Each structure stands twice: as C-alpha cells, then as structure tokens.
C-alpha cells in the first residue's frame, strides 16, 4: 500500500471529525476568554486616581502609608507600586529594578493563554480547509465508483466539505478579535503601570537630591581678616 492509498483510507473517515475538533477548540477558547475577562474586570483600577493619591502621599513623605494603601490590591498597577514602595528607603536604582521585576511577573500573568487565541485564529481556517480537502477527495472517489452519478452523488460530500471551511472561519474570526482585544487591554495596563512607576521614581530622585548637601555646606567661615605672612608685625611697646 503506497502513501496515496494510505491517505485515501484516512480520508474515508470523513470531514466530520475535523469539525468536531474545531468546535472543541472553539469551546476551549470561550472558557479561557471568560476566565481572562473575569481577571481583567476584577483587576481594573482608576489609574489617574491612584496617581493623585500617590503624589499626595509622597509629597508629604508618607511612602509607608502609600504602600499600605496598595498592599491589598490585585491589579498590575497596585502590585508593582506596592513592591517598589516597600523598598523606598533603598534608593531609586533599587526601587526601579524591583518594580521592573514585578512588572515582568505581572505581564506573564496577564499574557497567559494569549498565544492560544492567536494560534486558534491563525490555524483553524487551515484545519477547516483540511476538512474541505477530505470532503472533495471523497466526492471524487464516489463519482469514480459511480460514473453515471451526478450532483446527487457528490453534492452532499461537497456540501460537507464546504461546511468544514465555514466552521473553521466561524472559530477563527472570534479568536482573532479576542486576541486583539486582550492584547490592547494588557498594553493599556502596562502603560498605566509605567506612568505610575515614573511618579515614584521622580519623587524618590527629588528626595535624594534634597538629602545631599553641596560640598562645603554647613561650614562657617570666619569673617575676621587673616593676616598675611608677608605683612610686617607691629612693634609692641617696650
């Protein structure tokens, strides 16, 4: 048995299993999309409001109170700021690296399963096309077995083949839409986190500058004239 006969035997399974495969992938996509939507909804915060409160706390030198107001937060913005403010006393460079490391961890949390939507959107049309090819193979095979047969012989098989393509598109189009929407939402969260991080680093930089005195500050200068070594001494009375 050569490879062509082997594939013909495989094609005899029909295209129905291909459609079931795509429907299972679509159902998994819906479940994951719901989980991601719940994550984004429960972690949505008002970033400008957080910024105003953060500036107010830092202007008063209350970094610990600012951290306390963010500790119980679930959002990306709150977790990154809370980790950075917990190390506020260590300086701007250390705080920046702590916040960047937390941001990287949070990006992984928000980007989880995002590649699944992209994979489904890119590949299910080809899976549907595979089902279409199988249907067409079966249609021509039936036509060869019954040369006098017409549309009534190959019509149902061609119809089944086209349905496979339609199912592939039916699954792929929502997957692409969901992928782009989630990608945009995550990008917005990262942008909010970035501008809040910059507020912390700006205040921390100003605080460090204020704590460093210029060289010579605090040294009292004697206003009394200092006699030069070359100036002649006055004679004392004998």
55, part of any domain: yes
Tell whether the model's pLDDT for residue 237 goes beyond 50: no
* Position 210 confidence tier, pLDDT thresholds 50, 70, 90: low
Q: Which two tokens mark 143?
A: 């036509």
Residue 234, in any domain of the structure: no
Nearest to 207 by CA among 32, 63, 67: 63
Domain membership of residue 217 (yes or no) is no
With respect to residue 200, please indicate whether it lies within any of the assigned structural domains: yes
What's the number of domains the chain is made of?
1
> Which residue range forms the structural domain that includes residue 140?
3-208
Residue 227 placed within a domain: no
Reported as a single tens digit per residue, the pLDDT across 3-20 is: 777 777 777 777 788 889
Tokens of 213: 């005195």
pLDDT in tens, 62-98: 888 989 888 888 999 999 999 999 988 888 899 999 9
- Evaluate if residue 192 carries a pLDDT over 50: yes
pLDDT of 93-134, one tens digit each?
999 999 999 999 999 999 999 999 999 999 999 999 988 888
In a domain, 228, yes or no: no
Distance of CA 126 to the CA centre of its chain: 27
For the segment 158-166, the average pLDDT, to the nearest whole number, is 87
Q: 3-state secondary structure string, 108-150?
A: HHHHCCHHHHHHHHHHHHHHHHHHHHHHHHHHHHHHHHCCCCC
């Amino acid at each position: 048995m050569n490879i062509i006969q082997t594939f013909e035997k495989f094609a005899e399974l029909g295209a129905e299993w291909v459609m079931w495969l795509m429907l299972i992938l679509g159902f998994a996509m819906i479940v994951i999309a719901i989980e991601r939507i719940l994550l984004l909804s429960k972690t949505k915060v008002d970033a400008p409001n957080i910024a105003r409160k953060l500036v107010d706390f830092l202007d008063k030198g209350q970094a610990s109170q600012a951290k306390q107001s963010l500790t119980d937060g679930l959002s990306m913005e709150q977790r990154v700021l809370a980790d950075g403010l917990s190390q506020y006393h260590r300086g701007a460079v250390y705080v920046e690296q702590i916040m960047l490391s937390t941001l990287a961890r949070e990006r992984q949390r928000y980007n989880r399963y995002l590649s699944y939507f992209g994979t489904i959107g890119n590949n299910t049309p080809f899976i549907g096309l595979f089902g279409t090819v199988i249907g067409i193979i079966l249609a021509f095979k039936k036509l060869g077995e019954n040369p006098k047969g017409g549309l009534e012989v190959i019509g149902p098989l061609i119809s089944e083949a086209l349905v496979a393509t339609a199912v592939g598109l039916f699954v792929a189009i929502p997957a692409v839409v969901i992928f782009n929407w989630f990608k945009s939402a995550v990008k917005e969260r990262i942008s909010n986190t970035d501008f809040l991080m910059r507020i912390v680093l700006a205040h921390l930089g100003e605080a460090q500058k204020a704590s460093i005195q210029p060289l010579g500050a605090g040294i009292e200068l004697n206003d009394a004239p200092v006699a030069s070594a070359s100036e002649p001494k006055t004679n004392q009375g004998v």
